[in-house]
Amino acid sequence: MDKEKSKIEADKPVFEEGKQYHIECKPGDLKGPVFLPGDPERAKRIAESWEEFKEIATHRQYYSYTGKVHGVPVSVTSTGIGTPACEIAITELLNIGCDTFIRVGSTGALQPGLELGDLIINTGAVKLEGSSVHYVPETFPAIANYEIVLALIEACESLGYTYHVGIAASSSSFYLGQGRPGYNDYKISKTDTIVPDLQKMGVLNMEMEASHIFTLGQIFGARTGAICAVYANRVTNEFGTLGEKEAITAANYAVKILAEMDEEKKNKGTKYWHRM
C-alpha cells in the first residue's frame, strides 16, 4: 500500500492539500457560486456557456469546472442523480470552502398552467428522500436562501422567461416514489396517491435533490437555491427535454445579480440584502 494513502483516515478520506476523495477538488480550485446539475454532461454545457472556463476534475459522476460569467467567478459540479450522491458533492464542496449553491436541473410539473420548458424557482421542498433524515428530524424545514430566490426571479424577469415560484417535492425514487409505475407496471397502494396529494397541497414540482441541498445549506450557513426546467408535465402526461438552455442562462445571470447584492451589502455594512 502507498505510504501516503495509508495515513488517510477512513472517516475523513481527504488527500494531500485537502483534495476530496469523490469530487477530487481541493481548497481554491472552485471560485464563486457553484451550480449543481445532476448530469455531468449538463455540467459541461454550463461551463461552455461561460466567457471562460477550465476543467478541474472528472471523477465518477462528479465533473467540476470553474471560470467566469458576466465577469464574475463561477463554478459547477455535477452531483449525479438523487440525494445520496448529492450529499457527497455538497459535503466535499463545503469542505473546500464553497458557500453558495444553485441547483440547475430538470423537473416534473404538478400544477395546471405549467408548460414543458417553463422554469421553476423553488422556495422550499417537501422531503420525500431518505438522506436529510440522517442530519435533521423529518419536521425540519428545507428552505432556499431568499437572496438566491430573488436573484433567480430578477434574472428570469430581465430575460423575459416564463417562470413559476413555489415549493418542490424531492424524492429519492424516480419511478414509484414519484407516482410512476415500475418494472412490469408494478405499483403499491400509495403510488397512485403521491401526485394527487402533492397537487392538493399546492406543490409545484417533483425532482430529486433540492430538499437535501436546502437542508444542508441551513445547517451549515450556505446559500442555496434551485431553478429547474420542466421536462415532464404530470397533469397532461407529456414529456420533452425543453428549457435547459434557459435555465442555464437564468442561473448565469443570477450569479451577476448575487455579486451585485454582495457588493451592496459590503458597502452598506449589512448582513442581509435589502432594497437600498
CB 258 within 8 A of CB 129: no
Question: What is the tally of structural domains in the chain?
Answer: 1
CATH number, domain with residue 251: 3.40.50.1580
Domain-embedded: residue 109? yes
pLDDT band for position 2 (cuts 50, 70, 90)? low
What span, in angstroms and rounded, lies between the C-alpha atoms of 48 and 180? 34
Domain-embedded: residue 8? no
What one-letter code names the amino acid at 3?
Answer: K
Which one, of 190, 168, 191, 181, lies nearest residue 111 by Cα?
Answer: 168
What span, in angstroms and rounded, lies between the C-alpha atoms of 52 and 56? 13
Domain-embedded: residue 3? no
Domain-embedded: residue 274? no
- pLDDT value at position 18? 94
- pLDDT value at position 8? 86
Residue 255 CB-density burial (10 A; 0-12 exposed, 13-18 middle, 19+ buried): buried
Which one, of 154, 135, 160, 144, lies nearest residue 204 by Cα?
Answer: 144
Q: Grid coordinates in use for 244?
A: 435547459
3-state secondary structure string across 157-224:
HHHCCCEEEEEEEEECCCCHHHCCCCHHHCCCCCHHHHHHHHHHCCCCEEECCHHHHHHHHHHHCCEE
Local structure of 58: helix, strand or coil: strand
- pLDDT value at position 102? 98
> Taking all residues of the chain, what is their mean pLDDT, rounded to a whole number?
96
Active-site residue numbers?
A: 22, 92, 180, 234
The string of DSSP codes covering 12-45 is B-B-GGG-BTTT---TTSS-S-EEE-S-HHHHHH
Beta strand pairing call for 205-207 and 163-171:
parallel
pLDDT tens digits for 86-138?
A: 999 999 999 999 999 999 999 999 999 999 999 999 999 999 999 999 999 99
Range of the domain at 217: 15-268
pLDDT band for position 1 (cuts 50, 70, 90)? very low
Angle at 166 between CA 79 and CA 150, to 5 degrees: 80
248 has a pLDDT exceeding 50: yes
Domain-embedded: residue 10? no
Domain-embedded: residue 26? yes
pLDDT band for position 276 (cuts 50, 70, 90)? confident
Domain-embedded: residue 273? no
Domain-embedded: residue 6? no
What span, in angstroms and rounded, lies between the C-alpha atoms of 206 and 192? 15
Q: Grid coordinates in use for 32?
A: 464563486
In angstroms, how far is CA 229 from the centroid of its own chain?
12
Which one, of 42, 85, 76, lies nearest residue 172 by Cα?
Answer: 85
pLDDT tens digits for 124-181?
A: 999 999 999 999 999 999 999 999 999 999 999 999 999 999 999 999 999 999 999 9
